[in-house]
Amino acid sequence: MIKHTISNRERDILSLMWEASEALTAKQICDLNEELVMSTVQTSLRSLLKQELIKVDEVVFSGKALSRSYIPTVSQEEFIVDQFDSINIQKFMTAFFDQGKGISEEEINKVEALLNKARKSE
C-alpha cells in the first residue's frame, strides 16, 4: 500500500465514513459534522477519490437532486498501518503506553495476544 498524505479535514471525513454503516453523500457528511461546509467536503472528496481512499458507491437522490454516494476503499486499520508503517514499532509502542491514558486490562490482554501470535509466526 502507498503511504497517503491527507489533510485533517480529509481525515475527519474518512472517519465519518468509517463510522457510517452505509455510503454517504457530501450533504450527509455535512449533516454529520456541522463544522464542515459543502465546498470543503466536495474538495476533500475529490482528493480522497484521486488517492483512491474512497470510491463512488452509487448515484442516489439527495432531496430532489442526484448525488454521488461514497464509501472508503480501505479500512481504518489498513489506513493506520499505512500511516505508521515506517515508524519503529518499539518507539511507537513506548509512546503509546507512556502517554498516560488509562489502558484497560482488556486492551493489554489483546496486545499480549497479538504479540504471542507474532512470536508463533516467526
pLDDT tens readout for residues 82-107: 777 656 677 777 777 777 667 788 88
* CA–CA gap between residue 14 and residue 44 (Å, rounded): 10
- Comparing C-alpha atoms, which of 107, 79, 101, 89 is closest to residue 10? 79
Q: Is pTM, for the whole model, over 0.75? A: no
What pLDDT score was predicted for residue 86? 57
pLDDT on residue 19: 96
C-beta of residue 42 within 8 angstroms of C-beta of residue 62: no
All residue ranges of the chain with pLDDT < 50 are 1
Domains and CATH numbers, the chain: 8-72 (1.10.10.10), 88-120 (no CATH)
pLDDT of residue 87: 64
